[in-house]
Amino acid sequence: MIGTEHIINIDKPMDWTSFDVVNKIRFATKIRKVGHAGTLDPFATGVLIVLTGKNTKRQSEFMAMPKVYEAEITLGHLMDTGDRTGKITESVPVPKLDQETILAALSGFEGEIQQIPPMYSAKKVKGQKLYNLARAGKVVEREPTTIMIHSIELLEFSAHSLKLKVKCGRGTYVRVLAEDIARALGTVAYVNELKRLAVGDYRIEDAISIPEFIEKWKSSAA
């Protein structure tokens, strides 16, 4: 653990921003160069790759790796943020769904698809981050981007929820994917729970918590 060059697979806790994690590790290790490779929303948990030292230059390499998410989606309500932290902006009845109908809808989102970035995101339009505009009550036009959905697996469903496992490429917003899938099913939706299971070969099973990392760091420095 001694040294300044690390690739750390952190299991990000709920309600922490990705930069909270970076700052905590920077403070604990006193390493000057610390960054992450792919933002996780504060409400989301799971694999966050933290890079230190010269490895920070490899950020793009890690961000280009496919990612796997497990998402619990609530049907019937639309949130301004696309997730459970927001405010309801629309409520729509949920049609009676069966597995065949859901699987048919999901298949339409596999492969290369177009996606419009959400207002509540760090993407910039004319130099301004969208979430800053959204918090000011502004909505601006966003150009669709091409993303890759490698696979979508239906894990379970009920009358008002879906649980999906999504393997996707860089730039995918699972919140937007959930909304688009819901529209294909004749309703609206938001993401209630989101967990990143993998970034490339870095898996949640091998991730460590922030306290575990700090304890290992202190032990190796003793």
Cβ-in-10-Å burial (0-12, 13-18, 19+) of 113 comes to: middle
Cα 72 to its chain centre, rounded Å, is: 12
Q: How far apart are CA 108 and CA 98, in angstroms?
A: 16
Structure token digits, residue 102: 């859901």
Q: Judging by DSSP bridges, how do beta strands 111-115 and 145-158 pair with one another?
A: antiparallel
For the question of residue 41 being annotated catalytic, the response is yes
Q: How far apart are CA 52 and CA 6, in angstroms?
A: 5
Q: Single out the catalytic residue among 41, 80, 83, 180.
A: 41
Q: Judging by DSSP bridges, how do beta strands 34-36 and 88-91 pair with one another?
A: unpaired
Q: How far apart are CA 5 and CA 27, in angstroms?
A: 15
Q: Judging by DSSP bridges, how do beta strands 145-158 and 45-52 pair with one another?
A: unpaired
Q: How many residues does the chain have?
A: 222
Residues with a catalytic annotation lie at: 41
